[in-house]
Structure 1
């Protein structure tokens, strides 16, 4: 049962990190847009998410939305709540990475005949991604642990499964120790991967020497 719970936790983490990683890009661009009709809704979304706890967002989606006719399965509600939360936070990471790229690179690309869309995809985004890789890796680890909050919408992920088993047999020390070991077995390798990504990112951002240097 615990391994099944770990599988659900891993599935939640994988799905949410991909969805949030993709959705955070247009949110970041909307917040950087000079058009207020784009910027204001994105600002409102990010500030509301950041100003309210994740557990409240999950409860609202699963328990409050049915009162207006929107009913979701527990797993779907968990995915939506976690994705919205991490989209808001990761959009700020993307925004800082994009803002860190010198404006001259964008101007040089445009002067060479590249359109704004192609300039962003080929010049700005790859460099910004290298800058934000370490932060995104840390969010991956945080998300893996935050999936435990999905238990409030009755998703039987690893932590909730441990609670159910412990409540049945009262072997709290054994069950929660095994649960902690399973979290560590996935979380620690993820942390090592993030370290490698940080090292790769720092090397790729170092200016290359010229041949005559």
Structure 2
């Protein structure tokens, strides 16, 4: 067999396409769930670290350090395979969502902390002078300004999380990579893996370009100041 018929077999790709489409649907759902949960959790952890009482700050720092250092694959295996031994059992989708969300929230917390700390202290003082309480100050004054700073790195982290969804195949979740490997085994040809790589590229490349655009726009805004 030559290179084309082995890795770029059109007939095999067409027959495996429905399986790949089911896989990309699961991958997108996993990525969306992880980014929403991880983003919300990261903001909460960030506020705990910056403004919480000392025990909450210590917990937040430990949480961030732990989940930034722990590989997602190790965390996923612990959640899916180890927790059942203590009576806690999750589906493959829930396990993958938890693992990705925990890691994404740790990185999000650090990005948000950098964004909030970049806001001049005078903004807080002006809000206090107007009689705004903490939560209104954060929602109306601080977070809208910090959002311009944190969007580029957050978008970059989202791209990374979507790539890491491929690890969910380790716990037999039918994501794009798992469907591609199943199709490869079924058809005795690696072309479905090439098809999966092309789908990942088509899906993630616009997000990568979006990150570059946001970073460039942020750089121009900083220069304009």
Give the TM-score of the pair, scaled to structure 2: 0.86
Partner of 1:12: 30
Partner of 1:69: 87
- Are positions 1:155 and 2:173 aligned together? yes
- Are positions 1:198 and 2:198 aligned together? no
Instruction: Determine if contact 1:133/1:201 at 8 Å carries over to the other structure.
Output: no
Instruction: Determine if contact 1:20/1:87 at 8 Å carries over to the other structure.
Output: yes
> Which of 195, 199, 208 does residue 182 from structure 1 map onto?
199
Partner of 1:99: 117
How many residues matched? 207
Partner of 1:141: 159
Deviation, 1:199, is 4.3
Partner of 2:144: 126
Query: C-alpha separation between the residues in 2 aligned to 1:165 and 1:82?
Result: 25
Query: Unpaired segments of 5 or more residues in structure 1?
Result: 209-213
Q: What SS class does the counterpart of residue 115 from structure 2 fall into?
A: helix
Query: Unpaired segments of 5 or more residues in structure 2?
Result: 1-18
42-51 vs 130-139, greater mean Cα deviation:
42-51
Deviation, 1:170, is 2.2
Deviation, 1:159, is 0.9
> Which of 20, 33, 47 does residue 29 from structure 1 map onto?
47
Deviation, 1:204, is 5.5
- Are positions 1:169 and 2:191 aligned together? no
Give the TM-score of the pair, scaled to structure 1: 0.91
